[in-house]
């Protein structure tokens, strides 16, 4: 049967992506022969105009580095996406392109599954689109946090053991250490970590980043980004399925 519902992923250098296999498995299980999922690996945001002009596209995922830049190309945003300032899911319906943020949903599910009572405050490593979704959920759950990024007041040069000791929840939101650059790792005072710390790395490939390995060596509880990825993908599917009921 001819494809009538085309889905896909927009990003840069994303041949390793989980999404294509995940959704193609879903199509097989549900016997949806009129669906396809493509990878749109674009080097420049301007190239998305051509992708958007395809009338057969029903929905898209968006990943690094376009989660923020893509907003100006959309017609509307969900309340959550507007509050976060980043989009990772687009619904095409009745000629209108609406941006959503399902990263927030995925991270919230991960946080709830692993957070303990002593995880009272957090350090968010990074300041991109994924970090924005994480901060939105931390605010929702009234967990105070500090941002650590190259340009923030606390950065990877001055982050010290005292700050890490005081914040028992660490969320790594940068792409540093992602396949194929698996030997890369943020400059971080791992010696300050204890078994009281929960360290979440949003990276899912590799399964255990160098950052998580270093944290685990100090006894910290470690979680990768795979569950978050699955949950945000399911939420995206739910959004795209609204038009097909």
Residue 154 DSSP one-character state: B
- Over 184-215, what HEC string results? CCCCCCHHHCCCCCEEEECCCCCCCCHHHHHH
Is 135 one of the catalytic residues? no
Q: Cα 221 to the chain's mean position, in Å?
A: 20
Cβ-in-10-Å burial (0-12, 13-18, 19+) of 208 comes to: middle
Active-site residue, selected from the candidate residues 67, 109, 132, 135:
67
In what order do the strands lie in the sheet containing 76-77? 35-41, 5-11, 57-62, 89-93, 96-100, 76-77
Identify the bridge partners of residue 201 per DSSP, sorted by sequence position.
Answer: 172
Residue 103 DSSP one-character state: H
Residues designated as active site = 67
């Amino acid at each position: 049967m001819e494809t009538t519902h085309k889905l896909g992923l927009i990003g840069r250098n994303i041949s390793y992506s989980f999404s294509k296999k995940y959704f193609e498995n879903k199509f097989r299980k549900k016997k949806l022969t009129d669906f396809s999922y493509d990878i749109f690996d674009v080097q420049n945001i301007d190239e998305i105009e051509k992708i958007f002009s395809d009338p057969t596209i029903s929905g898209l995922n968006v990943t690094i580095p376009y989660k923020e830049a893509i907003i100006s190309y959309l017609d509307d945003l969900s309340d959550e996406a507007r509050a976060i300032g980043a989009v990772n899911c687009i619904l095409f319906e009745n000629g209108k392109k609406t941006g959503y943020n399902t990263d927030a949903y995925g991270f919230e599910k991960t946080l709830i599954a692993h957070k303990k009572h002593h995880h009272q405050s957090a350090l968010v490593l990074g300041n991109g689109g994924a970090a924005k979704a994480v901060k939105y959920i931390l605010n929702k759950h009234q967990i105070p946090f500090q941002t650590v990024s190259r340009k923030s007041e606390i950065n990877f040069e001055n982050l010290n053991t005292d700050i890490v000791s005081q914040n028992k929840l660490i969320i790594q939101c940068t792409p540093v250490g992602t396949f194929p650059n698996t030997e890369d790792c943020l400059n971080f005072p791992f010696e300050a970590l204890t078994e009281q710390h929960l360290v979440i790395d949003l990276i899912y490939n590799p399964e255990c980043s160098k950052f998580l390995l270093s944290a685990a060596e100090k006894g910290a509880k470690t979680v990768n980004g795979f569950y978050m990825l699955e949950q945000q993908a399911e939420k995206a599917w739910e959004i795209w399925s609204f038009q097909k009921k």
